[in-house]
């Protein structure tokens, strides 16, 4: 690399090394029918430590993507048997948006029209095979991966609560509405559990706001770990949480939520100089309501009853 002075070189190398370290966890798929270019592209990517998947045609590519949803980039040829690169790009985009996956089109007969058509089909970028320089290739791959990572970071920040890492209120209602609709359509049960920490104001007043924050984080972790990956566990208010679960057996639900209540009651929270305990009250609404809002409101009414009846309990 021709760089002007040493400080510039060192900064550049440091940036490169950081990138290389990240690349090990970055999965890239090459879709190419030519043996020669398969090898060239694979080698180029592996020099930069990317984890490379190879598909020989569009069908294989779609299958591999299905099996490895964490693939971050697809580099696809245009001319291939069974399915051309435009069609593959369009098919991929039906399932994976630009916030999930970057696509780079490549072709040996590249001209501006081919690039434009790749991009119209949903690709992020286009490279012409005969003329691409290894450095340009690497720059474009890195650039597109970094853009994707930025999109994912921003998206993550928009849907997650910063303190606890749980989903936030906005995501709960956005995603919840969709889950509610699909569960009603597919005739699956859906439940909503509202959770509120008991006398939480006292924790803050007695031990300070930082201790309160530690309690919030620990309660969140217990909730998250006990629920399934597909359940939505959200912090919808200061010390209020809401869980949405589709297709959960009523008996299983009763077990899980009672288990949660006990786990939190028994858990010692280490706030630095002391161990403290908190309890939660819950309102559990299984399957009743004509909309997500109605479900949540009824769960909230149950929660209110649980508070009135003495806290540290579930009303359903
Ligand atoms: P109840 O059993 O009736 O729910 O009583 P409570 O004290 O838990 O309820 P209340 O609504 O009176 O108080 C909730 C408290 O939660 C007040 C607020 O200061 C605190 N809180 C809200 N968000 C945060 C936060 O992010 N961190 C901390 N430490 N406290 C918070
Ligand atoms: Mg080809
Ligand atoms: Mg309250
Ligand atoms: Mg409370
Ligand atoms: Mg509250």
Give the three-state DSSP class for 34: coil
- From the CA of 210, give the closest atom in ligand 1: 29
DSSP 146-174: HHHHHHHHHHHHHHB-TTT-SB-HHHHHH
How far lies 8's CA from each of 12, 18, 137, 176, 188, in Å?
Answer: 6, 16, 22, 50, 60
Contact indicator for 100, 78 with CB cutoff of 8 Å: no
Q: Which of 196, 201, 213 to mutate to test the pocket of ligand 1 (most atoms within 8 A of CB)?
A: 201
Residues framing ligand 1 (Cβ under 6 A): 163, 196-201, 204, 209, 212-213, 216, 238-239, 307, 311
Who wins on pLDDT, 2 or 102? 102
Please say if the pLDDT value at position 130 is more than 90: no
Give the three-state DSSP class for 257: helix
Q: Give percent above pLDDT 90 in the chain.
A: 84
In the reported structure, the alpha carbon of residue 239 is separated from the centroid of ligand 1 by a whole-number distance in angstroms of 5
Confidence of residue 111 (pLDDT cuts 50, 70, 90): low
Which residue's CA is the nearest one to ligand 1's atom 5? Answer: 199
The active-site residue, picked from 229, 239, 240, 252, is 239
Which residue's CA is the nearest one to ligand 1's atom 12? Answer: 201
Please say if the pLDDT value at position 1 is more than 80: no
> Quick count: other Cβ atoms within 10 Å of Cβ 299?
27
What is the pLDDT, as a whole number, of residue 4?
Answer: 56
Mean pLDDT of 61-83: 95
Contact indicator for 224, 233 with CB cutoff of 8 Å: yes
Mean pLDDT of 232-254: 96
Mean pLDDT for all residues in the chain: 93
Q: Which of 219, 239, 300 to mutate to test the pocket of ligand 1 (most atoms within 8 A of CB)?
A: 239
- From the CA of 213, give the closest atom in ligand 1: 29
Predicted ipTM of the assembly: 0.95
Contact indicator for 65, 103 with CB cutoff of 8 Å: no
Give the tens place of pLDDT for each residue, 11-33: 777 887 888 888 888 999 999 99
What is the pLDDT, as a whole number, of residue 149?
Answer: 93
Three-class HEC string of 179-191: HHHHHHHCCCCEE
Which residue's CA is the nearest one to ligand 1's atom 27? Answer: 213
**Centroid of chain to Cα 221:** 17
In the reported structure, the alpha carbon of residue 202 is separated from the centroid of ligand 1 by a whole-number distance in angstroms of 8
Closest to 55 measured CA to CA, from 24, 34, 86, 69? 34
Residues in the 5 Å CB sphere of ion ligand 5:
196, 240
Q: Which of 203, 236, 238 to mutate to test the pocket of ligand 1 (most atoms within 8 A of CB)?
A: 238
Which residue's CA is the nearest one to ligand 1's atom 21? Answer: 238
> Quick count: other Cβ atoms within 10 Å of Cβ 214?
17
The answer to whether residue 239 is catalytic is yes
CA–CA distance, 263 with 224 (Å, rounded to integer): 12
Which residue's CA is the nearest one to ligand 1's atom 19? Answer: 201
Confidence of residue 201 (pLDDT cuts 50, 70, 90): very high
Please say if the pLDDT value at position 272 is more than 60: yes
Give the three-state DSSP class for 89: helix
- Please name the helix (run of DSSP H) or strand (run of DSSP E) that holds residue 248, with its range, or none: none
What is the pLDDT, as a whole number, of residue 112?
Answer: 66
Confidence of residue 65 (pLDDT cuts 50, 70, 90): very high
Give the tens place of pLDDT for each residue, 249-271: 999 999 999 999 999 999 999 99
CA–CA distance, 27 with 73 (Å, rounded to integer): 7
CA–CA distance, 112 with 204 (Å, rounded to integer): 63
Give the tens place of pLDDT for each residue, 172-186: 999 999 999 999 999
């Amino acid at each position: 690399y021709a760089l002007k002075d040493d400080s510039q070189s060192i900064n550049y190398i440091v940036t490169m090394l950081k990138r290389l370290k990240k690349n090990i966890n970055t999965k890239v798929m090459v879709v190419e029918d030519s043996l020669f270019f398969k090898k060239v592209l694979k080698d180029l990517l592996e020099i930069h430590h990317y984890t490379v998947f190879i598909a020989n045609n569009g069908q294989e590519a779609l299958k591999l993507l299905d099996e490895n949803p964490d693939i971050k980039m697809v580099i696809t040829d245009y001319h291939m048997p069974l399915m051309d690169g435009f069609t593959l790009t369009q098919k991929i985009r039906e399932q994976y948006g630009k916030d999930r996956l970057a696509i780079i089109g490549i072709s040996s007969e590249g001209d501006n029209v081919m690039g434009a058509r790749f991009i119209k089909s949903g690709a992020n970028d286009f490279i012409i095979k005969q003329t691409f320089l290894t450095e340009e290739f690497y720059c474009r791959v890195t650039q597109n991966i970094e853009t994707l990572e930025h999109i994912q970071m921003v998206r993550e920040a928009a849907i997650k609560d910063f303190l606890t890492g749980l989903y936030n209120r906005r995501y709960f209602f956005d995603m919840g509405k969709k889950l509610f609709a699909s569960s009603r359509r597919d005739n699956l049960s859906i439940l909503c559990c509202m959770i509120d920490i008991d006398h939480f104001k006292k924790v803050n007043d007695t031990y300070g706001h930082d201790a309160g924050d530690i309690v919030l984080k620990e309660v969140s972790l217990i909730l998250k770990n006990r629920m399934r990956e597909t359940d939505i566990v959200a912090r919808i208010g200061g010390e209020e949480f809401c869980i949405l679960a589709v297709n959960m057996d009523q008996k299983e639900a009763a077990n899980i939520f009672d288990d949660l209540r006990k786990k939190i009651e028994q858990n010692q929270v280490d706030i630095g100089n002391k161990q403290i305990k908190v309890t939660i009250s819950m309102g559990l609404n299984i399957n009743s309501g004509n909309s997500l809002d109605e479900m949540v409101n009824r769960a909230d009414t149950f929660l209110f009853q649980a508070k009135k009846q003495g806290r540290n309990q579930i009303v359903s």
